[in-house]
Chains A and B, each alone.
Chain A
């Protein structure tokens, strides 16, 4: 069983479109994250949720809206996609004292 799963794995879309990425973890973790990895391979935190509540929003444009319907899910919706949004997006989860487990990533390409 995959611990942290993201869908889709690949996403190619046109500028201006709205898209969503889904994330689910079956580890019973309280904390979930979204990270963005750009073409230079730098991993940058976007959002952190704890028990469905937003803890961190790292000055991400408000076109990005995370939603956590329950502790096991953290979805990312992106409005009006721009070329600069092209990146790999990683979801992760962890307990407060343990290591984080990452999904396999969603490679978003905006054309």
Chain B
């Protein structure tokens, strides 16, 4: 699976939108972009995924650039409970592994 690059950490004020970027310039045509987060001491939590179209669900929105070389996860109204490490992962639709990098530590503050 291709590699992703994310900022090490970000801060966001509560109530504001949190925009988390991810670069994946070597993405293959059959690789989806997945986002997970891990809140302290809990198991990773699936957020959203997409192939090339923008996606939205009850948790977040995923914006993928037209060339698919980067994406942004948007939490529209961040709360303190969104403080977590966010992982951007590329994966094909197979039984192969999900490879977690170091992710972005998002700190939501009052």
Chain A positions within 8 Å of B, measured between CB atoms, are 4, 30-31, 33, 35, 41-45, 48, 50, 55-56, 58, 90, 92, 96-105
Provide the residues of chain A in CB contact with B96, threshold 8 Å: 48, 55-56
Provide the residues of chain B in CB contact with A56, threshold 8 Å: 95-97
Judging by beta carbons under 8 Å apart, are B42 and A31 in contact?
Answer: no
Chain B positions within 8 Å of A, measured between CB atoms, are 32, 34, 36, 38, 41-49, 85, 93-100, 102
Partner of B95, one of A35, A41, A96, A105: A96
* Residue among A30, A31, A100, A104 facing the most chain B CB atoms (10 A cut-off): A100
Q: Binding site of A, secondary structure by majority: helix, strand, loop or mixed?
A: strand
Provide the residues of chain A in CB contact with B98, threshold 8 Å: 33, 45, 92, 100
Q: List 20 A-B contacts (CB under 8 A).
A: A30-B95, A33-B98, A42-B100, A42-B102, A43-B100, A45-B97, A45-B98, A48-B96, A48-B97, A58-B97, A90-B43, A92-B44, A97-B93, A99-B36, A99-B46, A100-B98, A101-B46, A102-B44, A103-B43, A105-B42
